[in-house]
């Protein structure tokens, strides 16, 4: 595995993640930890963060053109403040982004924002899969 330091802040990684989640050609989305039925992913992450002062999110995005695995780690210490670090794995390359400082309020806003972006991507993907399944089941028109 090859490791590359991008020299870019982790905010650039988050922009790339958002761009990937907004793509129309996404064929697979996955996240860890996985929420239970009726539970929002951001609530799971928020609970980890609140209870332990640290939360790590793993998100896999696959399209016909690529597969990227994002890892974002947020830590908060009342004496030191917050920090977000992250990297993305694509093929056999790990690209590491530079950590950024973040306030507790901004962490909450980011969870809400990226939670919505992911939810909309999931919704689009499910809709696409349902449309494809329906098209396969329908008899051909005469």
pLDDT at residue 139 in the model: 64
Assign 140 a pLDDT band (cuts: 50, 70, 90): low
Beta strands in 1-142 (DSSP E): 2-9, 28-32, 54-62, 67-77, 81-90, 93-102
Q: What is the pLDDT of residues 52-108, one digit of tens each?
A: 888 899 999 999 999 999 999 999 887 778 899 999 999 999 999 999 998 888 888
């Amino acid at each position: 595995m090859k490791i590359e330091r991008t020299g870019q802040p982790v905010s650039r990684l988050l922009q790339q993640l958002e761009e990937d989640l907004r793509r129309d050609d996404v064929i697979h989305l996955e996240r860890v930890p996985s929420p239970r039925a009726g539970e929002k992913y951001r609530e799971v992450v928020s609970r980890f963060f609140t209870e332990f002062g640290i939360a790590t999110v793993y998100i896999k995005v696959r399209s016909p053109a690529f597969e990227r695995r994002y890892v974002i780690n947020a830590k908060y210490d009342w004496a030191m403040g917050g920090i977000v670090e992250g990297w993305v794995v694509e093929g056999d390359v790990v690209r590491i982004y530079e950590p950024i400082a973040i306030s507790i309020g901004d962490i909450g806003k980011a969870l809400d924002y990226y939670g919505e972006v992911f939810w909309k991507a999931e919704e689009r993907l499910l809709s696409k899969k349902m449309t494809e399944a329906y098209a396969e089941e329908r008899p051909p028109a005469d």
